[in-house]
Amino acid sequence: MNVPGISGLSPAERADHRLGRDITRIEPVIVDLPTTRRHRLSNTEVTFQSYVIVRAELADGTVGYGEAATLGGPRWAEESVEAIKANIDAYLAPAILGRNALDFEANLLAMKKAASRNNAARGAVDSALFDAAGKSLGLPTSLFLGGALRDRIEVLWALASGDADQEIEEAKGKLSAREHRRFKIKLGFHSPADDMARLTRITEALPGCEIVCDVNQAWSEATAIRYLPRMAELGIVLIEQPLRPGLLEATGRIAARSSIPIMTDEAAFTGAEIVANATSGAGSVYSLKLVKSGGLMELKRAAGTAQACGMELYGGCLLETGLGAAAHLAVFSTLPTLEWGCEHFGPRIVKTDLLREPITFKDFHIHCPTGPGLGVDINEDALAAMTRKA
């Protein structure tokens, strides 16, 4: 096997897999990518997406990349791209520079000691280290996580313009291209009654399609009680985060009345929060996201925690580019179960992805990249062109 970066070494040196894998540079940049259409949530809307892309360099010259996604500033969660970049530069990078990239668990602990929470920032650095280590050794990141069990995952598409005519046309285009047959409708930016009218039109226009609804915390318990029966009549298969995080008992009460399963998203970042949501009956499905878990192994541990509590798993996204999607897919490919597939449509909603070769979307599935590291290569010219200038 030709191992990049150590081909000039003696057999004894080559046998030391740690040699040349010290972390020499961590460089985060902010990029702003326009989206193909307006994307609305209950509390914000975006026409461009901002990310922090982290470049990690090892002593043997290998470079790896990782990504932190946000959605419309520090709204979906408390981290903004500006804060993510500043905290990587000031705290996370100094905590791991000079350490060996293969010490994944130790590097994670060093970053946690340097900055509490900051999960999106830590997840981006951790992804870049997994990519660099894998590329340096010529091994896919999924191998470090237990090895892949699947090579493709059913992927849904989100309808989030708020205009039913546009959304139906968009969904029909995805269906006829055989790219997506499961759709997520964002609710909460219209009144509940208007959202029900919109949902009725969409479900009637898309017979046979599975429809998931994401309320992004916009409803009260009373609103949920009033409208859940109508959503059940419409055949909605899953409702995501109807109430605010912390309303465990109220969410548990609506879940008990609902014939549609409730998915926990913003309400659970930590393992303890996952357990609290599951044991209070507030959620029976968990949305996995790197920006919540703060690292690839942490994401896999979150999946194990949710599964141990009896929750089903859903691969969530925050409109990551192909790079961020690849980091999620490296983990998702190794999970024993992933009942609800994933929603990594982000590479298709940004006008310019940052990859040399885009990730394949085919026959309603996203294909897991298989090359060394995260299996994708950054187009450095595109990255430089989209990097926010100081």
Pair 67, 124: CB distance under 8 Å: yes
Residue 104 or 157: the one with the smaller Cβ distance to Mg ion is: 157
In whole angstroms, how close is the CB of 241 to Mg ion at the nearest point?
A: 5
In whole angstroms, how close is the CB of 240 to Mg ion at the nearest point?
A: 5
Residue 104 or 269: the one with the smaller Cβ distance to Mg ion is: 269
Residues between 234 and 253 with contacts to Mg ion, criterion CB under 5 A: 240
Q: Does the footprint of Mg ion cover residue 265 (CB under 5 A)?
A: yes
Residue 13 or 78: the one with the smaller Cβ distance to Mg ion is: 78
The reply to whether 85 belongs to the active site is: no
Matching residue, tokens 């968009």: 170
Number of residues that bind Mg ion (CB under 5 A): 3
Dihedral pair phi/psi, residue 4, rounded to 5°: -60, 140
Three-class DSSP category at 157: strand
CA distance 384 to 29: 9
Start-to-end CA span in the chain (Å):
43
Measured CA to CA in angstroms, residue 264 lies from 5, 65, 216, 239, 291 at distances of 43, 29, 10, 9, 15
Query: What token pair was written down for 342?
Result: 């994933």
Give the number of other CB atoms < 10 A from CB of residue 20.
Answer: 22
Residue 218 or 354: the one with the smaller Cβ distance to Mg ion is: 218
Task: Select from 26-34, 180-188, 233-241, 338-346 the region that touches Mg ion (CB under 5 A).
Answer: 233-241
Dihedral pair phi/psi, residue 242, rounded to 5°: -70, -35
Residue 77 or 115: the one with the smaller Cβ distance to Mg ion is: 77
Q: Does the footprint of Mg ion cover residue 320 (CB under 5 A)?
A: no
Q: Does the footprint of Mg ion cover residue 170 (CB under 5 A)?
A: no
Please identify which of the residues 112, 135, 184, 186 carries the catalytic annotation: 186
In whole angstroms, how close is the CB of 326 to Mg ion at the nearest point?
A: 20
Residues between 186 and 225 with contacts to Mg ion, criterion CB under 5 A: 214
Which residue has the closest beta carbon to Mg ion?
A: 265
Task: Select from 100-108, 159-167, 249-257, 263-271 the region that touches Mg ion (CB under 5 A).
Answer: 263-271
Using CB atoms within 10 Å of the CB of residue 221, give its burial: 0 to 12 exposed, 13 to 18 middle, 19+ buried: middle
In whole angstroms, how close is the CB of 291 to Mg ion at the nearest point?
A: 11
Residue 160 or 171: the one with the smaller Cβ distance to Mg ion is: 160
The beta-strand segments (E) located in 254-375 are 262-264, 285-288, 312-315, 361-362, 365-367
CA distance 137 to 103: 14
Residues between 66 and 95 with contacts to Mg ion, criterion CB under 5 A: none
In whole angstroms, how close is the CB of 265 to Mg ion at the nearest point?
A: 4
Tell me the chain's radius of gyration from C-alpha atoms.
21
In whole angstroms, how close is the CB of 267 to Mg ion at the nearest point?
A: 10
Residues contributing to the site for Mg ion (CB under 5 A): 214, 240, 265
- Catalytically active residues are 186
